[in-house]
């Protein structure tokens, strides 16, 4: 029985050690989570919303540049150059 008791005590010590390690890992996870500014899905949704806003503003600007070009009787590319709009803008 001494062998079984010794093995049982050894297993209990291992369990206690593993529980301590688990607790430390949980503490580390909470520290990392607290450092995160936002949930990733919130960040993604924000970026999508901002891209939609950007596209709306860009479409409006291109429309205005088109109106200016029509009013002047020139190509829109000429008006874009005048206002410093580059091809990638």
Separation in Å, CA 40 to CA 47, 50, 80: 11, 15, 37
- d(CA 43, CA 51) in angstroms, rounded, equals 12
pLDDT in tens, 29-63: 988 888 776 778 888 999 999 999 999 999 999 99
Does the structure show a pLDDT above 70 at 1?
A: no
Q: Are 66 and 76 in contact (CB under 8 A)?
A: yes
Q: In the chain, where are the structural domains located?
A: 1-36, 38-89
């Amino acid at each position: 029985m001494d062998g079984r008791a010794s093995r049982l005590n050894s297993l209990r010590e291992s369990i206690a050690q593993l529980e301590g390690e688990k607790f430390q890992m949980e503490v580390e996870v909470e520290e990392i989570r607290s450092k995160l500014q936002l949930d990733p899905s919130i960040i993604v949704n924000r970026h999508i919303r901002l891209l939609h806003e950007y596209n709306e503003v860009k479409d409006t600007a291109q429309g205005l540049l088109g109106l200016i070009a029509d009013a002047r009787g020139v190509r829109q590319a000429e008006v874009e150059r005048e206002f410093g709009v580059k091809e990638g803008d």
